[in-house]
Amino acid sequence: SALSPIQNRDISYHLHPYTNAVKHAQVGPRVIERGQGIYVYDDQGREYIEGMSGLWSVAVGFNEPRLVRAAADQMGKLPFYHTFSHKTHTPSVELAEKLVQLTKGRMRSAFFTNSGSEANDTVIKMVWYYNNALGRTNKKKIIARNKGYHGVTVASASLTGLAPNHRGFDLPLAQMKHVSCPHWYREGQPGETEEAFATRMAAELETLILEEGPDTVAAFIGEPVMGAGGVIVPPATYWDKIQAVCRKYDVLVVADEVITGFGRLGTMFGSQKFGIEPDIMVLSKQITSSYLPLAAVLLGDKVHSVIARYSGELGTFGHGYTASGHPVATAVALENIRIIEERGLVENAARMGEVLQSSLRALNDHPLVGEVRGTGLIAAVELVADKNTRRPFDPLGKMGAAIFEKAHEHGLIVRGIQDSIAFCPPLIIDEQQVHDMVGRYVDTLEDVRSLAD
Ligand code: PLP
């Protein structure tokens, strides 16, 4: 059908992230106009369950009036001020304090940025500055995982372990190394238990640290549960074993909680669920339900005390953004966190997570379903060409792309990650809506079944 003027103008003038512009013009962009609860509506009035919370991020739903009021009130009072050179404002102070309290004092302070990518860039600079301040000038390498996602700036894209973020950009930077993705279903060896797999993953990390030289390895970074890499839940003992290796070689542990923060796994932070005791924690997305851009780097005492008290020849930690701790964004974050607490959305995520995980696992017998994985309100269903051998489709991703497209016709927005379909609905979702979402997915699956051969 003919494209509308807004679609044509989008195609003419607007270059989109992660989007093939030629295909974009052929497919025709979907214009999303408004949102309500877990639903968004396009300019044709069609309703979609936003099964991905936008980009894993809208915890409280798409029309929360309290966030609108919090933004408007702060806009009317102090729409902008910075936090450089001994200036501050109440919302940024209150949010920093609130975040530290939410970690039950595990973390010591908060540094604000505008995006998860910038936050991870900030982490890298903090880690480097920390070791420089301690006179350990060779201890600079950072180890991340294949399929990890940490953002797209030059340095954070180097931590990301996905080919599209490296190809064409001369990345990763030499200081960034990668170990295997802890995905037992795909990376486990025949007959290997999850426990043995986790042990092997930790041994691989230790081998890499020893090869590189422990005096050159500064930090290990990982998402408690990987999101963009395909919703990968590691074996239960993985994080314990990884942390033991890190502690042995004085390697800082960084938990990238950009997706898992604020209740996604049914606990306030993903670190709680896996017993991670991070030296540095990164938060974004659900911190404001993404109504405004904001991210935070939380420092434990170990790194905080060095950076905050350093007075040597390196000078002050020379880093920060015009909008670090932006008053409107931090005011919205505070109100958003109040809503998450008052409405018990972390507990709701735990309860609805059970419903989501069990209704998706009911698909385990489906001939196309290879693996159902997830915990709390994040999940993925991996489709395979052959259930017994786990053989993927050829070309890889054809079913994921088909389902992503076709799901729109059933009023559902999901993400295809190769042939895994990801679910990450708003934390406000109720039981009937979970069933409705899964039902729309099953209907879509039936539609595309004929493509499987
Ligand atoms: N870290 C994780 C775990 C993410 O999922 C993302 C974004 O999806 C980022 C970092 C990057 O955040 P941003 O897109 O805000 O730069």
Domains detected in the chain = 31-60+344-452 (3.90.1150.10), 67-342 (3.40.640.10)
Phi, psi dihedral angles at 416 (to 5 degrees): -100, 120
- For residues 233-251, give the mean pLDDT: 98
Bridge partners, 300 (sequence order): 107
172/312 Cα distance (integer angstroms): 31
Give yes or no for residue 117 CB within 6 A of ligand 1: yes
Give yes or no for residue 259 CB within 6 A of ligand 1: yes
313/185 Cα distance (integer angstroms): 50
**Are the beta carbons of 230 and 418 closer than 8 angstroms?**
yes
- Give the ipTM of the model, two decimals please: 0.99
Res 136: pLDDT? 98
Give yes or no for residue 92 CB within 6 A of ligand 1: no
- For residues 347-373, give the mean pLDDT: 97
Q: Give the position, in ligand 1's atom list, of the atom nearest the Cα of 117.
A: 16
Give yes or no for residue 260 CB within 6 A of ligand 1: no
222/256 Cα distance (integer angstroms): 6
Give yes or no for residue 228 CB within 6 A of ligand 1: yes
Ligand 1 centroid, distance to 116 Cα (angstroms)? 5
Instruction: Express each pLDDT in 376-430 by its tens digit.
Output: 999 999 999 999 999 999 999 999 999 999 999 999 999 999 999 999 999 999 9
Ligand 1 centroid, distance to 150 Cα (angstroms)? 5
Give yes or no for residue 116 CB within 6 A of ligand 1: yes
Helix and strand element counts for the chain (H, E): 16, 15
297/316 Cα distance (integer angstroms): 18
pLDDT surpasses 90 at 125 = yes
pLDDT surpasses 90 at 433 = yes
Q: Give the position, in ligand 1's atom list, of the atom nearest the Cα of 116.
A: 12
Instruction: Express each pLDDT in 33-56 by its tens digit.
Output: 999 999 999 999 999 999 999 999
pLDDT surpasses 80 at 453 = no
Contacts of 435 (CB under 8 A, 6+ apart): 355, 359
* Mean pLDDT (the chain, rounded): 97
Q: Give the position, in ligand 1's atom list, of the atom nearest the Cα of 226.
A: 3
Res 174: pLDDT? 97
Ligand 1 centroid, distance to 164 Cα (angstroms)? 15
Q: Give the position, in ligand 1's atom list, of the atom nearest the Cα of 153.
A: 16
**Are the beta carbons of 57 and 285 closer than 8 angstroms?**
yes
Res 1: pLDDT? 67
**Nearest residue (CA) to ligand 1, atom 13:** 116
Give yes or no for residue 254 CB within 6 A of ligand 1: no
Res 452: pLDDT? 85
Ligand 1 centroid, distance to 393 Cα (angstroms)? 28
Ligand 1 centroid, distance to 195 Cα (angstroms)? 29
Ligand 1 centroid, distance to 231 Cα (angstroms)? 14
Instruction: Express each pLDDT in 61-109 by its tens digit.
Output: 999 999 999 999 999 999 999 999 999 999 999 999 999 999 999 999 9
Give yes or no for residue 223 CB within 6 A of ligand 1: yes
Instruction: Express each pLDDT in 266-303 by its tens digit.
Output: 999 999 999 999 999 999 999 999 999 999 999 999 99
Ligand 1 centroid, distance to 154 Cα (angstroms)? 14
> Distances in Å between the alpha carbon of 141 and those of 137, 197, 233?
11, 25, 25
Res 114: pLDDT? 98
Could you tell me which of 369, 371, 440 has the C-alpha nearest to residue 406? 440
Res 438: pLDDT? 98
pLDDT surpasses 70 at 245 = yes
Residue listed under structure tokens 């953004």: 321
Tokens representing 327? 């008053």
Count of positions (residues) in the chain: 453
Pocket test for ligand 1, best of 147, 150, 231, 262 (most atoms within 8 A of CB): 150
Give yes or no for residue 256 CB within 6 A of ligand 1: yes
Model confidence, pTM = 0.98
- For residues 161-186, give the mean pLDDT: 98
Q: Within 13 Å, how many C-alpha atoms sit on residue 74's CB side?
A: 24
Helix or strand (DSSP H, E) at 271: helix 270-274
423/421 Cα distance (integer angstroms): 7
Contacts of 136 (CB under 8 A, 6+ apart): 215
Could you tell me which of 414, 378, 338, 321 has the C-alpha nearest to residue 115? 321
240/132 Cα distance (integer angstroms): 28
